[in-house]
Amino acid sequence: MIDRSHALPLARQAQQLEISRGSIYYLPRLVSQADLAIMRRIDELHLLYPFAGSRMLRDLLRQEGVGVGRRHIATLMKRMGLEAIYRRPNTSKPAPGHKVYPYLLRKLAVTRPIPKCGRPTSRTCPWRAASFISLPSSTGSPGACWRGGCRSRSIPGCCIEALEEALARYGRPAIFNSDQGSQFTSSAFTAVLHREKIAISMDGKGCWRDNVFVERLWRSVKYEEVYLHAYASVPEARAGIGRYIAFYNAVRPHSALGARTPDQLYFDQPLLAAA
């Protein structure tokens, strides 16, 4: 639109077009060879780990000896049109008509390694062809552990089956605590608890600490492994999740650990204590 050969001055042309005068004289800069090399490596890492954002990419590049800042990586990702896969807000809503039970664990003193109440419970259900695989876990005891597993064609079904298995293997607790997910508030699930005369407790506002660690693990497992693969069988799902756990412990940098891996933190613990 700007005609440099026109008799009208360039400043006047810019004024008429309502554009900045500086934009008339701007010449785009070529991308440096160093940035091209970084962008090429970012593209490779993004294909391997599409869940990695600018922070994780920064730490992965630093592991390879490439010193680059997070903001510069974010700029390059924006230029390349890359965006990490991550959870958007407001992705979970309670099912209408389901009853939410009060929280019973507030100020409850836990004085034994295995208290007389169900541990804060969570589950994730990796999808596979025509069914779900339930991976329930518990965090009430000192170490998180698996409590059961099943295959079902519905999320409530896999959770009920896992609950029945846990009751058969570990006995009946006095209190069963969970979040307010629709799979736990469904009448079919709570009917099992009522049948066993187990008090039902559900996390609400101010109870986020109960499941914060295991839920963060589920977020990583799902968005960094499960959602990226269509498992054809249970053995394939187990193998894939097993590979991810090895990556999580030995390769994946963790911001909360100062960009180190859990294995690095564990084996270097004496050095950290000395420092």
Question: What is the count of structural domains for the chain?
Answer: 2
- Over the stretch 43-86, which tens digit does the pLDDT of each residue have? 999 999 999 999 999 999 999 999 999 999 999 999 999 999 88
The values of phi and psi at residue 260, to 5°, are -100, 165
Tell me: do 143 and 214 sit in the same domain.
yes
Element holding 150 (H helix, E strand):
strand 150-152
Distance CA 75, CA 54 (A): 9
Pairwise pLDDT comparison (201 vs 111), residue with the higher score: 201
Residue 159 — pLDDT band, cuts 50, 70, 90?
Answer: confident
User: Quick one: which of 163, 140, 167 has its CA closest to 150?
Assistant: 163
* 232, two tokens: 């054809």
Confidence (pLDDT) at 206: 64
Tell me: do 80 and 148 sit in the same domain.
no
Cβ neighbourhood burial of 178 (10 Å; 0-12, 13-18, 19+): buried
User: Quick one: which of 174, 171, 119, 126 has its CA closest to 144?
Assistant: 119
**What separation in angstroms does the CA of 130 have from each of 94, 133, 151, 181, 204?**
24, 10, 10, 22, 33
Residue 108 — pLDDT band, cuts 50, 70, 90?
Answer: confident
Tell me: do 82 and 154 sit in the same domain.
no
Element holding 47 (H helix, E strand):
helix 33-48
Residue 148 belongs to what domain range? 121-232
Q: What's the whole-number average pLDDT of the chain?
A: 77
CATH number reported for the structural domain that contains residue 208 in this entry: 3.30.420.10
* Side-by-side strand order, sheet with 121-122: 145-146, 137-138, 121-122, 175-178, 199-202
Q: Which residues contact 184 (CB under 8 A, 6 or more apart)?
A: 121, 159, 178, 190, 202
Name residue, tokens 């389901």. Answer: 98
- The answer to whether 166 and 147 have CB atoms below 8 angstroms apart is yes
Tell me: do 59 and 134 sit in the same domain.
no
- Over the stretch 119-136, which tens digit does the pLDDT of each residue have? 445 555 554 443 445 454
Q: Which of 196, 212, 232 is the last residue of a domain?
A: 232
- Domain presence at residue 23: no
- Over the stretch 176-196, which tens digit does the pLDDT of each residue have? 888 787 888 888 889 999 999
- Domain presence at residue 91: no
Confidence (pLDDT) at 121: 52
Q: Which residues contact 247 (CB under 8 A, 6 or more apart)?
A: none
- Over the stretch 195-218, which tens digit does the pLDDT of each residue have? 999 999 888 766 767 667 777 888
Tell me: do 173 and 126 sit in the same domain.
yes
